[in-house]
Amino acid sequence: MLYTNELVLNELAQGLRPTAEGVEWFESLAEGEQRKVLHALVLFCGQASACEEDVLESIARSGIRPTHAPAVMLTKWRFGMEVLPAYELTKSFRLLVALFSIADTRRRMLHCADGCGHEWHNLSDPRRDAS
């Protein structure tokens, strides 16, 4: 069973939810919850086998400048973005969602193309329990 945060993050990664809606959702969270979401995104990126070659594309997709702190951190393959100042959290979110999307898309194409039992890869399946 996916929890709300996990569901939103996976929907964003799979393009089932618009990025703008995801940013609005993220910004509506309390700062402590935002930091937890960023930590979860870092874990999801690892599980999806994000690699350093994905960084430039994730920066471009995220719409943040390559000179912003989260982008600079990522180019050095550092993921401690949840400890950045509050004004950097939304940028970190956009960047990590983009990285997760890139890595998860690759994982789905390489390892789950013929179907899989991953609940998070079957979100658009109409047979999925809506509860």
60 domain residue, yes or no: yes
How many domains, in total, are found in the chain?
A: 1
How confident is the model over 41-81, as pLDDT tens digits? 999 999 999 999 999 999 999 999 999 999 999 999 998 88
129 domain residue, yes or no: no
72 domain residue, yes or no: yes
- Between residues 124 and 67, the one the model is more confident about: 67
The structure's pTM equals 0.83
32 domain residue, yes or no: yes
- Contacts of 26-34 with C-beta under 8 Å, sequence gap 24+, read 26/89, 26/90, 26/93, 27/90, 31/86, 31/89, 34/89, 34/93
48 domain residue, yes or no: yes
